[in-house]
A = this chain, B = another copy of it.
């Protein structure tokens, strides 16, 4: 089980109770998020890239059923043949699937039936973990899969939120998912920008050691990094407004050719979800439509926009190696601004003043200039879970650091997220880099 790199040696020391507790909390978070939705909200698909909330709830359950219960719990009976067809995402090895763009047609099974499905699978998982406490060899096989299941569900918790935002932003009534209690935004200028220097050299990149990581974070290997500087904070909304007002969206010479085509075809003039109201830029968020917070990181920009902004600013995006290297060198005193424990922040937090790189974890996924490729020596794992990451290593870019809607504890310095350069419905922003 290469995907979840839990070493055999560590398995024994793993506390079954702790794993069961994390599983339980993770499962509960999904339903807690869904509890802010009506059944109607849960079934609709905002666009091809997004999935309905109900689908996320069911798919994460199918994942446990297919990868944990069916192979390793002999007495387990599949909840329903149809569910496998409906809620398999892209695992060719697991048989035929409902086409992605039609996920929003699934009014049946109902949300309630999906919750029943969740309860059914959860009960079996609990029972299974109980039993495994007595069987360390089996536990060593199953625990890493449960670990993958937890991490997989965390990814879908973030997607559920981004997809709900996509849905709510497309509706005339612009509903509120959950108020974050913030009554106003401010025009306070952001913290002045500091540049943090790094010497680089032959550095180790990628995950190693205990703890979960995805297959695409390894193998840990050496990379030669040239000296560079990194902005201590992300590009802010107020800087983005300057870019807009300076004609950033109108000058083809600032853009990649492909990006300029998209700008023209989609008539982009600002980040996703921005609209001007009474001459003030507002942004649709999970807590509704609000004036943009000047001092907070810009969010919901594509790679094309991030790249154009950097060119306009006379800087560049960092590589994913620079980013990871800087991230491991940095003391992060502040608690990550992520999702969980009853907390939902609808937007990234304001930048703070500092001499070191700040807010690298949580807040916004940061576009890097690195195309999403395999690390040297990478092999996709055997079996269906080998389809998890490897087959997407083409035409996408790496983003690092997690966002304000990434579940707490999910993200790492070595974590590689990836999206197409035109996509911007995730909580995506950027941090500038420069040559030393």
Contact = CB atoms under 8 A, between A and B. Distances in A.
Interface of A: 38-44, 46, 54, 82, 85-86, 90, 92-93, 98, 102, 104-111, 167, 170-173, 175, 202, 221-224, 226, 252-253, 255-260, 303-304, 307, 369-371, 373-374, 376-377, 387, 391-395, 421, 435
A73 to B, nearest CB: 25
B46 A43 contact: no
B46 A44 contact: no
Contacts of A175: 107-108
A108 B102 CA distance: 21
Contacts of A374: 369
B373 A107 contact: no
Nearest to A371: B371
A102 B108 CA distance: 21
Q: Give how many copies assemble into the complex.
A: 4
16 contacts: A38-B108, A39-B39, A41-B108, A44-B44, A86-B173, A107-B171, A107-B175, A108-B171, A202-B202, A255-B391, A256-B392, A257-B391, A258-B395, A260-B391, A369-B374, A376-B435
Contact of A173 (B82, B221, B387, B393): B82
A117 to B, nearest CB: 13
A82 B221 contact: no
Given A39-B39, A223-B224, A253-B92, A106 B171 contact: yes
Given A391-B256, A394-B259, A435-B376, A46 B172 contact: no
A167 B104 CA distance: 10
A358 to B, nearest CB: 25
A377 B108 CA distance: 50
A224 B376 CA distance: 11
Given A41-B108, A105-B167, A107-B175, 13 more contacts: A38-B110, A39-B39, A85-B172, A106-B172, A106-B173, A109-B173, A202-B224, A256-B393, A257-B392, A258-B394, A258-B395, A260-B391, A303-B394
